[in-house]
Amino acid sequence: MISFKMWMLFLLASHYVTNVTGMSSTQNNMQSVCQTKDCRLGQQIARMMDTRVDPCEDMYQFSCGGWIRDNPLPDDTKNLTLIDKLESQNRKEMIQFLESDDVKCLNSTAVEKLRTIFKTCVKTEPNDALLYKSLVNVRLICIQVQFVV
């Protein structure tokens, strides 16, 4: 059985694969110029480098300086990997998608059910109020089946 997290990840990936949105004209031009896997990998590696540094002086800064510059380490963590960054980014995008009322998904009952479940899980109502409502509902059910007078 697929876990809830895996299902959410699959849903997000499917959404972005079928609906590429928010790309600027620069990104569109770059995409048309660099379409092969090798080219995209080269771009990613180049972004992680700091070419302002002489590799003979500081090879680590030359090869990893771009990553360090673009991904400052939070105070509460000891290290930050690409997987950590992608996980955090996916989580933020998933929450943003589930909280939005995306017009493209209005006809999808599966997406609407998923959004309903998500919104139910993140209600900000105080626990006392939820507990009271639950007890009232249980009492009403008991009255209906004649357990309580």
> What pLDDT digit, counting tens, does each position of 62-81 carry?
998 998 898 888 888 888 88
Residue 113 lies in a domain: no
Task: Using alpha carbons only, give the angle 75, 41, 15 rounded to the nearest 5 degrees.
Answer: 75
Q: Give the pLDDT of residue 25.
A: 47
Q: Distance (Å, rounded) from C-alpha 114 to C-alpha 4?
A: 10
How many angstroms separate the CA atoms of 7 and 5, rounded?
5
Tokens found for residue 27:
């990104």
pLDDT value at position 61?
A: 92
Q: Residue 139 and residue 78: Cα distance in Å, rounded?
A: 51
Q: What average pLDDT does this structure show over 26-32?
A: 53
For residue 112 the two structure tokens come to 């609407």
Tokens of 99: 């909280």
Confirm whether 41 is domain-assigned: yes
Share of the chain above pLDDT 90, in %: 11
50 belongs to a structural domain? yes
What is the overall mean pLDDT for the chain? 74
pLDDT of residue 22: 46
Element (H, E) at 27: helix 25-33
Tens digit of pLDDT for each residue in 97-137? 888 876 666 677 777 777 777 777 776 656 666 666 666 76
Domain range for 36: 30-70
Q: What is the widest separation between alpha-carbon atoms in the chain?
A: 86
- Within a domain: 38: yes
User: In this structure, is residue 114 part of a structural domain?
Assistant: no
Residue 50: per-residue pLDDT: 93
Give pLDDT tens digits for 134-147.
667 677 776 776 65
Number of domains comprising the chain: 1
Residue 24, pLDDT score: 46
Band (56; pLDDT cuts 50, 70, 90): very high
Q: How far apart are CA 133 and CA 25, in angstroms?
A: 51
3-state SS, residue 78? coil
Could you say which DSSP state residue 147 is in?
A: S
Residue 102 lies in a domain: no
Q: Which of 15, 17, 20 is nearest to 98 (CA)?
A: 15
Q: For residue 59, tell me if it sits in a domain.
A: yes
